Structure formats: C-alpha cells, structure tokens
Structure 1
Amino acid sequence: MSFTEQIMPIFRVTLEVLREAGGAVPPGVVRDAVIERVAIPRDLQSPDAHGEIRWWTEVGFRTGEAASLGWMAKRNGWSITSDGIKALEDFPGDVICQELRRQYHNRRLFRAGEFPSAFEQYQRNLGYARQLVHGGRNLERLGVGAFDVTDLYRAAWTQAVAALDHWVTQEIIDRAVALAQRPEVPRPNNFSKLSMPVELVEKVHRNGEPLDEAFRAALEGFFEYKTFQHPDKIAEGFSHVSKIKLWKSVADKLTDQDPSMPIAADEIRAQLTEIARRRNNIAHTADHDPDSFRRKKKITAREAEQTIDVLESVVIAILQALGDLPPATDPSIPPAEVGSLGAAPVVADAKRRGVIRGLSKWTEESLLHALDEYCPPEVADTLLAVYRHAEGHPAFRGYYFGQGVHPSATAWFSTGQDEAAVWSIYTGVSKSVLSINFEWMRNRGVPMDRLERLARALSVLPGWADLPERLAAADYARRPSSITLALAKPDASHIILRAMDALLAGDKVA
C-alpha cells in the first residue's frame, strides 16, 4: 500500500473527529482522538528525515490544504466548516482525499517541475519550527543545562517568520506569472510596476524562451532583497497581484472562522508587527531584555507555538481572501458559437517563431496562407484589410498567433485604460471568422459607452442587427463572430475599420 493510500483513512477520521466535536479543538487533542480510532501503520509512526512523526506531519499538510479550501479552520484550534461536513457526506470513504487533492491542485498555483507549491513549502517550514519547539520542550523536561534550551523557541520563532517571508515572496511571484499568462484578466495598477529586463524580453520574443520562465526569473531578481515580515510590506507586495483590501479581507475571513472572537484589521496588523519586532530582536540583539543587558527576554514553548499558529491561520486567511485566479483564456480557441471550422488548413510554414506575445505554433505566413488558400476572395479581402489596418494604427501593440488546431491571430491595442485583445481572426477549411472580443475588452476596463457605440456601428452588418441588444443582455460577456455573408459584403471592411477607429479614439468620438 502506498504512502498516500495509508494516509487517506487517517485524514477522514481527522475530519470526523472535528465534526463530532462541534467546535474548535486543540491539535494535540485531535491527534490523540485519531490514534484511538484508527490503527496507524508502523512505518508511519516513525520519524522522517527531519525528526517529525510521518503520519502527523502528513495530516498537518492535508488539513492545511483543507483549510485553504474552506473545509476547515485553524484559528484558535482546529474546527470543521459546513463545507467540510458536506464534503464528508458527499465523498464517502477514501474518495474525500482524492477530491481534496483534485480541488487543491485545481485552485492553487503550482510551479513547473518537481517544485512544491508555495503553500506546501510554507507548511513544511512551519513544521520545522514546530519540531524545534517540541525538541525544546523535551529537553526542558530532562533538565538539560549545558545550554539555554529556550534558544530553541527563539529559533522556532525566527523560522516561522522566515517561512512567512518566503511564502509571501513565492505567492506573489506565482500569481504575477499567472497574471502575465492571462492577459485578458484585469490587473491591479501596481502590476505594471513589476519590471522585466530588456535582456529577458528579448529571450522571449527573439529566442522563444517561455514567458513564464523568463518572467519568473525577472521577478525573483526584483524581489531578491525585499522582505515581507511587516504587515504594511506584505500588503504592499500583494497589491502587485490583487486589488483587495488585504487586512480587512483577512480579518473578515478569520472572524468567519471563529465568530466568538471577532478580529479587526488593525488587530491583525498589531499581532504581525509584534511578531516581526520580536524576531528582529532575536536576530539582531540575541533577544536581550532592554531592562537588563545581563539577561535575555523570557520566552516559553507556548508563546512560540502560539506564534506559529497565528502565522499559519493568517496565511490560510490570506489565501482565501486573495481567491483563485480565473482560468487562463486561450485566444487560440474561437467562441463556441462559431461551430466547426473544419479540418486544419495545410500550411506552407511549419516553423515556430517567437512573436510579440510569446511563443506560438502559427506564424503570420501560415495565417496568410490559410486566408489565401481556403477563404472566398471577398472574405479574404475583408479579413486582410482588418489585419493590415491593425499595424498602421498608433494604438496597436502586437499580434498573438495562436497555438490551436487552426491558424489564428489576435490583435492587441492600447485602449487608454489598459491593453486589450480587440479582435481575433480564426481560419479553417470550412470557414474563417472575425471575432470582436467585447468580453475581453470589458474585462480590461474599456468603458461601457464605448462598447455600446462599437456594437451599434457593427449592427449594420448582415446577421448583427440585434447585436447591441444581445450584448447588453449578456453584460457584454460575449465575443460575437461574423458570418461569411457579413465578411463578403462589399463595404464590410470599411464598416469594421471605421468602428475600430471610433473605439480606439475613445472619448474623442462623440
């Protein structure tokens, strides 16, 4: 039986213990109750390479994941939420573990390769801190006097704060990379303050280096000498990747976890500030008591444990407050309403070249070949006119040539508020279409009145008479695509380009 299979029933029993308790339970009490209910395999009772009991360490990881999903809370003890109870009911037996891993992997951010997620690394680092406390407590019981045993509690305190610092850095980088790969998702204003050296930009656009790898390397350099221990610095860091009011949102999450002990944003900041201040005193003055240079400040195992617990619960609440990024939109995929484009065109150019928005399968040559080979002349003329118009417009920012089954191109423009993917051309053997990306423009902050004007201007094309009404009913969350009859209309390109010019002129157009 694999290690994961051995942990599954233990995790389920842990949740059942919490359900029966009906409230917050100290982790040690939970551990003792689990031992009474389930037979722990002998090999899981032994310590791992870090001296931690294997099964309990793993339960700590799994319950941390469950807490990040809202199945549990770890504030003032462990407790199960209504979502956790529902999961116990909906997923019988060991299936609940499989569902936990599925949801956690789907909702959290993971690095490529063998690297654990930022939160998993954080849990491991807190585990090391707890082990230091455990070791110090045992040595105190033995009456060891060869050294100051309480220094282990100071080391645990420092380790826990370092774990927080490292997690914040990695979480910001992971989310920034994810946002870079989701250009259609609205970004916080501070996202644009994350710099990327020209050298790395050239690696992406000229040498075809994956955007995520290049951007991650740039961000690791950007944050190399920044620290995230003070609450103001943490909030400033997350402002690069989120628009939320961090500590207010975190306070709301923590209060929801234990309504009997509500907490305000300023109280969280005060807690974190004091924790960081004590860490600095330990690191820079050996924790000397300011009232007497002959002794250190007192510290207990319980104080160190409480600090670790506070930092764990705060990070879980931050994860819940930040939420999950929406799934990346693939510009290579046409809207569902387009239907089948037929077989993929056979293209003359199969080489992969770097383009302005990252590595892509198709190139300009393959797109133009498909238009010439498979489109009726009138349709090809209209699509070519739209395509060529983009490059000559002062607001043009670049093409993205897709990686899908069919050759495609998406044009990016500055809209005043941000950059947006305004239109996409999708080609196929059966048909080719022009999609106007109202949804993506709306998501990037293009004002509604400009989208309304664009819809009215395009409504004179065949098949789009009711376009303004359809878009308004959908809150502009659509990417309508032109039919062949519309693209073949003699003045279609003139209508489309005039509408595009008006959109990109913004408020200059009446």
Structure 2
Amino acid sequence: MSMGKTPFQRFTDNLQYAQRMIHGGVTLEKLGRARVDLGALTSDNAPHPDDLYRASWTQCVSALDHWLHEAIIAYIVDHTGDINWKRPARLEALKLSMGEAERLYRGSTPARVVIRQFLERELKRSTYQKSSAITDGLRLALHLDGGQIWKHIGDPLQLPAHQAIAKQDGIGERRDKIAHRADLDEQGQRTPMSATDAQLTLDWIAHVGTTIAGLLR
C-alpha cells in the first residue's frame, strides 16, 4: 500500500494497474497476429490475452470493493461527534458491544478509534461488488435509497437507475464466474473476453467510484 495516499488515490492506482493488464493483453494479441517468436511468452502454455482481460476485470471489482469499505468508514468516523449530523437509520440500527460501549463511557480510547474499529468489524462481512450490497453500505452514511443512489450513478451516462443496477450486477456476476468457475460456461467452454469488454468495465467502475466519492463529500 502506498503511504501518504488517500483511499481514493489508492483506488485509482488499482485501476491504473488494471489498465496496464489490458495494455498487456493487447500487446500479446498483436504479437500473436504478427507471429513474433518470443520463446515461452508465445508458447501454448503462455498467458492468453483473455487471461489478462479477466485479471483486469476482477482487479477493478476488487478495487471498488476495497475502496468502498474505506470510504464509508472514513465518512462515518469523520462525522463522529458532529451533533448536527443526522445519522441514517441503517447506521442507528447498528449495536455496539458492551466492551465498546464501556470504552466510550470510560473515555479510555478516543471515540473515533472505537467507532472505526467497530465499523471495520461490522463491515468486513460485506462485499461491495453488486448493487444491493453497495446500496446497503452507502445507506450507512447517506440519506438516500437505492433508487436515488443508482440514479446519481446512471444520470451522467443517461442510464436510468435500473439499467445502472443491472450493469453493476452483470459485472459482479462475471467477476464471480471468473473467480469461482474459471469463466467456464455450462458446456465447459471459457467465455471469450476482449480488450473492449475489459476497458468498458474499467471505465464503468471508475465512473461508479468517482460518483460515489462525490456523494460522500
């Protein structure tokens, strides 16, 4: 992890890494078409361009997931002690343990430290890759429902909320297929993936992250 960088900067760094994977896949495709002999790099056992595109796809989804955990927690912690901030209902419903409540009561640990540790424990069970989980996470920090959140995300691209939701869910489902089934279909054939497929996914995840960052300002 790069020291001194904000969570969003680390998110964009991760997307840049995914972008390099796409560039690497495109380069392999060009070498294959040119029949350039680079030894093991172009052997039958060498990585296929599709493999790099799949790696980029999963990297993008993971980057969003990891950043959202950090961003939601940071937003709530930053508002700890702000008497003018009305806590969203989902946040109010979370319950501190007796030990955490006692630490707050005694004042032995700064409130923001206790709240951060509590949220890290609560949110580690969540995976922010598909729309419903992303919505649930954001509703800990924002007074918006799912339709409003995905409308914010879809509007700049002229997508209605339901299409933005479907797009995010499709990306998350393909990530699961890559991670858990090696991207194989029901007939045991690997589903093709192109550089364009991977690039569109990267661009979408970057857009989702940028839009959510704006909502959490």
Report the Cα distance in structure 1 between the residues aligned to 2:5 and 2:97, rounded to whole angstroms: 27
Match of 2:10 in 1: 121
Gap regions ≥5 residues in structure 1:
1-113, 325-510
Deviation at residue 185 of structure 1 after TM alignment:
1.2
**For residues 78-89 of structure 1, what are the structure 2 equivalents within 5 Å?**
none
Report the Cα distance in structure 1 between the residues aligned to 2:151 and 2:209, rounded to whole angstroms: 12
Match of 1:192 in 2: 92
Match of 1:312 in 2: 206
2:101 paired with 1:212 = no
Match of 1:302 in 2: 196
Gap regions ≥5 residues in structure 2:
33-41
Match of 1:445 in 2: none
Kept in 2, the 8 Å contact 1:194–1:240? The answer is no
Report the Cα distance in structure 2 between the residues aligned to 1:279 and 1:189, rounded to whole angstroms: 31
Kept in 1, the 8 Å contact 2:15–2:202? The answer is yes
Kept in 2, the 8 Å contact 1:247–1:265? The answer is yes
Report the Cα distance in structure 2 between the residues aligned to 1:249 and 1:224, rounded to whole angstroms: 22
Kept in 2, the 8 Å contact 1:250–1:314? The answer is no
Label 1:207 to 1:223 Cα distance change in 2 as closer, same or farther (>3 A): same
Label 1:222 to 1:252 Cα distance change in 2 as closer, same or farther (>3 A): closer
Q: Select the residue among 132, 146, 171 that pairs with 2:71.
A: 171
Report the Cα distance in structure 2 between the residues aligned to 1:231 and 1:297, rounded to whole angstroms: 23
AA matched with 2:141: V
Deviations 1:389-441 (A, max 9, x none): xxxxxxxxxxxxxxxxxxxxxxxxxxxxxxxxxxxxxxxxxxxxxxxxxxxxx
2:132 paired with 1:232 = yes
Match of 1:183 in 2: 83
Match of 1:270 in 2: 166
Deviation at residue 252 of structure 1 after TM alignment:
4.3
Give aligned-pair identity as a percent: 30
Report the Cα distance in structure 2 between the residues aligned to 1:214 and 1:116, rounded to whole angstroms: 23
Report the Cα distance in structure 2 between the residues aligned to 1:235 and 1:187, rounded to whole angstroms: 16
The two structures have a TM-score, normalised by structure 1, of: 0.38
Report the Cα distance in structure 1 between the residues aligned to 2:86 and 2:80, rounded to whole angstroms: 11
Report the Cα distance in structure 2 between the residues aligned to 1:272 and 1:247, rounded to whole angstroms: 14
Match of 2:26 in 1: 137
Report the Cα distance in structure 2 between the residues aligned to 1:189 and 1:249, rounded to whole angstroms: 16
> Aligned residue pairs: how many?
205
Deviation at residue 134 of structure 1 after TM alignment:
1.2
**For residues 358-369 of structure 1, what are the structure 2 equivalents within 5 Å?**
none
SS of equivalent to 2:78: helix
**Greater Rg by CA:** 1
Q: Select the residue among 177, 184, 187 that pairs with 1:281.
A: 177
Match of 1:201 in 2: 101
- Superposed CA RMSD in Å reads 2.1
AA matched with 1:154: R
Q: More strand per residue: 1 or 2?
A: 1
Deviation at residue 182 of structure 1 after TM alignment:
1.2
Match of 1:242 in 2: 142
The two structures have a TM-score, normalised by structure 2, of: 0.86
Deviation at residue 207 of structure 1 after TM alignment:
5.0
